[in-house]
Structure 1
Amino acid sequence: MPKINVILRKEDLDPDFLYDKVAVVIDVLFATSTIVAALHNGAKAVYPAANRQMACDTIKELQPGSYILAGENHLQNIPGFVGYSPLALSQEPIAGRNVVFSTTNGTVALRKADTAKHVYAAALLNAPAIVRQLQTHQDSSIVLVCSGSAGRVNLEDLYLAGYLVDQLEIARPSHWTQSDTCHIARAVYGQYRDSPRGCLMQSQLGVRLHEQDMLDEVEYSAQLGLLDIVPRMQGNYLTCF
């Protein structure tokens, strides 16, 4: 019987564990939300980079003028890079261009997960679309990778993981065996079930972002099912599936 497992932090992820599995990487505030929004807004592809140096190496392989560098390091802007949050990046001329994206957590998790058979990027923005896509992998085990925040478990990532597990269970009851971490994630989702905004605003990172005058970015990222797209890794970049 196929299984669903939730990884609580990217630091807990063993790349060898993902072999022949389907991985879904989650970083609600903000990496995967930004990726989903960027592709929705016409970006050709998003190249996740584990750090600034990898991003700079990536652009050497791209044509001049065909890319935009975006990202952050511990919520601080990187010199020469544009904004890392979904609304900020949407103000840049990304349509038809590649976004080379480096963040502290989510893009690191995406690169670490690239040993999986399939890798998707999930946010609240596209969560229902991800559920539909995962149902096409009914014979595969699924690993939901919560990026966390610099080694800490994030409430908002667990909420989304719990939503995904819950919706898959509703769609195909008892089809996937669930790990203990699935039950933890579903408990978090159950606490905030109808209030993703409430979850994000109560999370430690959400509070910090609010204090940095980024409430609009948090509220945008809290919109469940706003965008009907599924970003999937193709080699070293993500495109809409």
Structure 2
Amino acid sequence: MEQREMSLFDHIGELRKRVIIILIFFFVAMIGGMFLAKPLIMYLQSAPEAQELPMNAFKLTDPIRIYMTFAFASAVLLVFPVILYQLWAFISPGLHEKERRVTLSYIPISFFLFLLGISFSYFILFPFIIQFMGRLAEQLNITEQYGINEYFSFLFQITLPFGFLFQLPVVVMFLTRLGIVTPKFLSQVRRYAYFVLLVIAGFITPPELISHLLVTVPLLLLYEFSIWISYIAYRKAKKAEEALEKQENDSSVQ
């Protein structure tokens, strides 16, 4: 497939088309999310860390707010692969045929990492934070009485950021294939990246060392893994460029 030049209006029209497709799929997914919301809420309420906490509705609108929040979150999860594909479809006209095939394969990887990040934060990090908060309340002789809206809002605050943070290797791989970043650049800015990740970890976790390390260490390992992924993608991109140049030189000689 040949690359084609697109004007600014063509790009705007293409973007509008992709956004409309996403909104249509999101509307359908939102309907599905309304059916998934109740079983999801019941499942999360049956978790051991949730059963130990007396949760109440402190406002009349808390039940519907929780229900709609879960419906929205379920819709986002369902439509996430569609968003990734539409993003790929928007930028694919500017890529070579081989680059299109390679970047298309990033979509299932990205979705898997999104689920992995949410799973890590829910099954490992979140229970630890809940236990820490419970021990602290007991030491301070505080009776725990939580609203269900606050509980699930805190749950989303912990889990959803990890789903997006775990996209780092895919984003780095994609930017490397486009020639925007290199493994050398990522290594040079490592100290600044570490600082940013430490700040992010500080926002996500409570002011306690162990929980902070539970967030920081995976993020730092994720960054180092991203450098390694960038190195592999960079080598493949260079080989593809050399093969393309050789092919063009051979065709010009003929």
TM-score bucket (shorter structure): under 0.3
State the TM-score, normalized to the length of structure 1. Answer: 0.28
Which of these two proteins has the greater Rg computed from alpha carbons? 2
State the TM-score, normalized to the length of structure 2. Answer: 0.27
Q: More strand per residue: 1 or 2?
A: 1
